[in-house]
Structures are given as structure tokens and as C-alpha cells.
Chains A and B, each alone.
Chain A
């Protein structure tokens, strides 16, 4: 939002800020790529890859929630659909015990399915599966977005509709047991093979796959937020009606925001299946979806990299503490309290804290330069980024 300001010195400052932002994002990605050099434990590497994937979903939510103001409580729906697409393709690459090669997946045999269901057939092609893993979530998000935003549904109602859609998806996946494996999900998968290269979940190769996808999607999202569309997203978040009066098609932009977010979440879902080596209905259940919101809120809903780091930190700590029962119990308690405190005092999360400190510093340095009017401007822009949600 600082970019709106017109005075030449402010503009050069915002360009500088933009470069700083890119540098910070690049530094985080570089750090992520350097991790395997210091870690020799494949098990640990797999776990970190898992947190990176969760960070990707949180980042996707930051795009739709923090930038466009769409609180999507059903983010896990896109994630889960992506993971099921990948799991279906990987399942078909295994050699079933009962039916031999090219045969039916084991759970279908248990459910007395005679032939491979039509919806499963195209998943014999990995290319199709990868495209579907992104397109299916996008289509569903776009459909839902079209349905909501063309009717000018806003605020809480968006949250409730997306939540309801998630529950419907979850119920259906569990209920269609013979096609989806029901409660158990899809297990015993083959390893992902791309361009003749095998991705073992417990190896650095999978980690690098995740890190690459994460970097690409982080910068893709960053590009979106810095484009004209990204500015309009933020304008919609701050005052939807004003943007409509300027002649923009608000609904179309909101649908776009939700679709981009769903694409990233779908990609993350596919990676999650590769990392976890199974897909289950818990990948699209309400607790996970709400956790995504929390990661995003704690990290900073208006910062892509903030949400990413929030997810990695929280999921990582939870994972580290979950080894001992006593810690896990008190951890949940601490987490809940922390979350309430963050919502109360840091509405923009950890990233907001960084901005706050930076603004304070900039303010004091400007003061020492003797520019009298600037701090007031800085305060205005700080309070603007602050309170709206």
C-alpha cells in the first residue's frame, strides 16, 4: 500500500522496500535449500519437507485471505483434492497383491469393485494426474467463488460457505469408500517417478522437489501480489464497494484470488502425498483447515513469507514436541493461549511485528534527519496496513 503514495522520494523508498522484500524472500528460499547440507538424517529431512508443504498451504491462504480478504476456512479442500489426485496415480503404479499388475487397487477388491472406476482410468497417466491435481482444486474453488462472489456474499458468510463446502467434500470422500478408500484413505503407494528420476520420500531428492515447488510458488504468488491484480486484491480487501465504483469487476478478481490460492494448495497437496506416502480424509478435515488459518494468522496473514514461516514454526514445534505425551498436552494449551494473544495484540502476526519494528526504526532515522512531515505519513500507512482484516 505504500506504493500508492506519489511523492518521488516516497516512491524511490517503496522501490527499495520492494527490493528488500524480494531479497528477504530469496534469503528464506536459499536457507530452505541449504538445510539438507547440514542434516544427514533422512527421517528428519522428510519431516522438514512435510512442514515446508504445510507452509505452502498457509502461504496460499495468505494470498486469498491477507491480500484479497477472503477468509477461506475450506483451504484444506483444495489441499486434500490435490493429495488424492496424486495418491490415485501413485496407487495405480503399484502391483496389487490380489489382482497382479494392471489390476485393481487392494481396497477396491475389499469393497467388491469389479472394474477400475471410470474416474480412475485417466490417472494411469502421471501427466494427467499432475494437471488434475492443480486443475480440480482450481475448478472447484472457481465454481465456489463464482457462486459466492457473483451473489456478493462477503465476510462471515464466505467463511461459513467455504467451511460447509469442506465438510461436504470430507463427508463424500469418506462415504464413497469403494472409490476413495473411505476412512483409511489411499495407502501403500508407489514412489513418484518423474523424467526417469525416483523420488523416495525419505531422501534429499524429495526434499529438493518440495523446496523447488515451494520457491516457484512463493515467487509466483509474490509476482501476483505485486502485479496490478495484486493491488486490486488489496483494494478490495480494504473497501470492496469503492473498487466496484471504480468500475472493476470485483467478483472476477476475488475468483482469481481464490483460484490462484487453490492452485498452490493443490500442488502442496500433491507434494504432501509424495512426502507422507499416503492420502487420507484427514488431509481435508476441519481441524487441518483451521490449523492452516492459525499458521497464517500467527505468521502474518498479509505476508506470504510470514505465513510460510508461521506454518513451519508451529507445525515444526508441534511435531518436535509430539514425541512425549506430557509435552504435547501442554503444547496444545500453550498454542491456544499464544494464538489468542496473537489475535489480540499482533493482528498481522510475526510479519506485522517485523514491519512495526522497521517502521519505528525508519521513523526515528527520519526524525534525526529532521523531516517533520514524514513520520505522520508513515504512521498513516502503518495504521492502514494494521487494522483492516
Chain B
């Protein structure tokens, strides 16, 4: 029993990190149709932001989160204004252009902060473990889990309970009609992209204490995050949660049964099969085209 619980908790922890990274992507891809390959680099920027704020200004991870969110968000806004808005008519090309942006970001970080691994300390208060039903879990992981849950709730509220969310959903449904009703579609899109980028930055800052920080760290996240989003269904926030949980549990338990590599290969194969039979995602019942 303990063992199953242990597995479930490991899966939840992996899943929460997946969701954290995928949430920003889900918003950008789901509502704007932009395939943001630079998302992993936004995550990386967040992680480096945490490292820089900590080593230069001595800021604690928790207090630097706000700055990171705003900083990476602003960068995302600039990216949307400078490059992406010219590519809305060519969705596959957004994939190429944002990949180029990712390469540039990686290289800029490598040139400024250096290519070596960096480490970000865990916040003092979360350095211990807590016991959940008799299983010891790192309290930082519990904090990440709760933080992600709160972030998700905030995002949901933003999308469905604010006038900004209403405008965004209107633009997603029919850009021209929304514009006729006085919605500034350009502004909505650039803010949405900025919000998604900001979320990626937060993700980077939060995973920084768990993994080492390097210019290449983003690549691993972006692929996984894409699978989460595609699996969940591009326009469904709850689908994203469900698929993050599913993938987290799958990788957790498959890694236990066989080795890590085979687990990853099996998860990928499962995703290939799922996309083939449900390209609209697992958790979407109707799709507008």
C-alpha cells in the first residue's frame, strides 16, 4: 500500500511540474495557435532569472518570483510584437521562427552567464520533508504542487471570469467579429503571449532548485510540454491538467516497471497512438474549425 502511495505521489509531483511548464504553452498554443518552440527557453530564462536575482541581489527564490514573472512576460510581449504577429497566417512557420528565437536566447545566455551548470538554493522554509499518510515527501515538492494548483485556478479565473478572458475567447472564436465589437485583437494577443511567457518564467524559477540550470535545459521541457498540451486538447485548460496528471503517473509507474529510457519511449509511443486516434485531444468533446 505504501508503495502504491509512493508511486502516486511521485507521479503527482512529476505531473505538477509538467503542468507548470505546459500551462503557459497551453494558453499560447491553445488560444493563439502559435507553436512556441522558444517556450523551453522562456523556462530557461526564468531559471536564470532566479539564479541571477539570488546571486547578484541576494533575493530569496520566493520573493524573486514576481520579478521573474514580469521580466519574462515583458520579453514574451516583445517577441510577439517583434516577430510572431507577422506569422499568424502561417502557423507552421511560427514553429520555425520561435525555434530560431530559442537558439538566439540559448546563445545569449551562454555568452553572458556562461555555459556551466548553475544551482539555485531551495527556500529555507521548504528544505524539510512532510509526511503524507505515512510517506515522506519533500516539502518543496508539496509547495510546488500547491503553487501550481493556485496558478491554475488563477489562470482559469482570468480566462473565464474577467473581461480580458472574455475578450480573448471572443478573438479566438472569431477574430474579425470580435474586432467589429471593438476588441483590440492585437493587444489581446500580445498580452496573452506575455502571460504565457510569464508562466513559463515562473515554471523555470520553480524547477530551478530541483534540477540544475543550464542554457540547454529548455529543450527537454518544451517537448514534454507539447505532448501534454496536445494530449489534453489544445483549447481545454482542464484537459491540460488531466493529461499532465496522466503523463506524470505514466512516466512515474513505467519507470518503476522498466528503466527510465524505455519508460520514456513507451510514453512517446502512447502519445503517437493517441494523437493518431484523437488529434483533438483526449479531453475535448467538440472542436470548432
Binding site for B on A (CB under 8 A): 71, 147-148, 151, 153, 155-157, 159-161, 163-165, 167-168, 171-172, 174-175, 286, 290, 293-294, 297, 329, 332-333, 335-337, 339-340, 343-344, 347, 387, 389
Q: Interface-forming stretch among B19-27, B84-92, B125-133, B148-156?
A: B84-92
Q: Enumerate B256-278 residues with CB–CB distance to A below 8 Å.
A: 259, 261-262, 264-265, 268-269, 271-272, 275-277
In the docked arrangement, what's the CA distance between A207 and B279, Å?
A: 45
**Top 3 A-B residue pairs of the complex, sorted by shortest distance between their CB atoms:** A336-B103, A336-B104, A339-B100
Residue in B92, B108, B227 whose beta carbon sits within 8 Å of that of A389 in the complex: B92
Q: Enumerate B63-105 residues with CB–CB distance to A below 8 Å.
A: 83, 86-87, 89-93, 95-97, 99-104
In the docked arrangement, what's the CA distance between A147 and B96, Å?
A: 25
In the docked arrangement, what's the CA distance between A268 and B245, Å?
A: 41
Q: List 18 A-B contacts (CB under 8 A).
A: A71-B92, A151-B277, A153-B276, A153-B279, A157-B279, A159-B92, A160-B227, A161-B276, A165-B272, A167-B264, A168-B268, A333-B111, A336-B102, A339-B99, A340-B97, A340-B101, A343-B100, A387-B90
Q: Mark B275-287, 1 if CB is under 8 A from A, else 0.
A: 1110100000000
- Which residues of the other chain, B, contact A165 by a CB distance below 8 angstroms? 268, 272
10 new A-B contacts, CB < 8 A, other than A336-B100, A389-B90, are: A71-B95, A159-B92, A286-B223, A294-B100, A297-B96, A329-B107, A339-B96, A343-B93, A387-B89, A389-B93
Kindly provide the distance from the CB of B90 to the nearest chain A CB, expressed in whole angstroms.
5
Report the nearest B residue to A344, measured CB to CB: B86
Kindly provide the distance from the CB of A388 to the nearest chain B CB, expressed in whole angstroms.
9
Known A-B contacts A343-B93, A347-B90; the reply to A175 vs B277 at CB < 8 A is no
Is B264 within 8 A of A164, CB to CB?
no
Q: Is the interface of A mostly helix, strand, loop or mixed?
A: helix
- Which residues of the other chain, B, contact A340 by a CB distance below 8 angstroms? 83, 97, 100-101, 104
Is A156 within 8 A of B223, CB to CB?
no
Is A159 within 8 A of B83, CB to CB?
no
Is B276 within 8 A of A339, CB to CB?
no
Kindly provide the distance from the CB of A180 to the nearest chain B CB, expressed in whole angstroms.
13
In the docked arrangement, what's the CA distance between A286 and B272, Å?
A: 17
Known A-B contacts A336-B100, A339-B100; the reply to A164 vs B107 at CB < 8 A is no
Binding site for A on B (CB under 8 A): 35, 83, 86-87, 89-93, 95-97, 99-104, 106-108, 110-111, 219, 223, 226-227, 230, 259, 261-262, 264-265, 268-269, 271-272, 275-277, 279
Residue in A161, A172, A290, A337 whose beta carbon sits within 8 Å of that of B99 in the complex: A290
Residue in A175, A297, A332, A343 whose beta carbon sits within 8 Å of that of B262 in the complex: A175
Is A343 within 8 A of B275, CB to CB?
no
Is A168 within 8 A of B265, CB to CB?
yes
Kindly provide the distance from the CB of A59 to the nearest chain B CB, expressed in whole angstroms.
18
Residue in A156, A164, A333 whose beta carbon sits within 8 Å of that of B92 in the complex: A156
- Which residues of the other chain, A, contact B97 by a CB distance below 8 angstroms? 339-340, 343-344
- Which residues of the other chain, B, contact A286 by a CB distance below 8 angstroms? 219, 223
- Which residues of the other chain, B, contact A151 by a CB distance below 8 angstroms? 276-277, 279
Is B104 within 8 A of A344, CB to CB?
no
Is A174 within 8 A of B92, CB to CB?
no
- Which residues of the other chain, B, contact A329 by a CB distance below 8 angstroms? 107, 110-111
Is A156 within 8 A of B35, CB to CB?
yes
Kindly provide the distance from the CB of A69 to the nearest chain B CB, expressed in whole angstroms.
9
Known A-B contacts A71-B92, A160-B230, A167-B268; the reply to A153 vs B275 at CB < 8 A is yes
Is B275 within 8 A of A155, CB to CB?
no
Is A171 within 8 A of B272, CB to CB?
no
Report the nearest B residue to A73, measured CB to CB: B95
In the docked arrangement, what's the CA distance between A264 and B202, Å?
A: 44
Report the nearest A residue to B278, measured CB to CB: A151
Is A157 within 8 A of B93, CB to CB?
no
Residue in A148, A164, A337, A347 whose beta carbon sits within 8 Å of that of B227 in the complex: A164
- Which residues of the other chain, A, contact B107 by a CB distance below 8 angstroms? 329, 332-333, 336
Kindly provide the distance from the CB of B118 to the nearest chain A CB, expressed in whole angstroms.
18
Known A-B contacts A71-B92, A293-B96; the reply to A175 vs B259 at CB < 8 A is yes
Kindly provide the distance from the CB of A240 to the nearest chain B CB, expressed in whole angstroms.
14
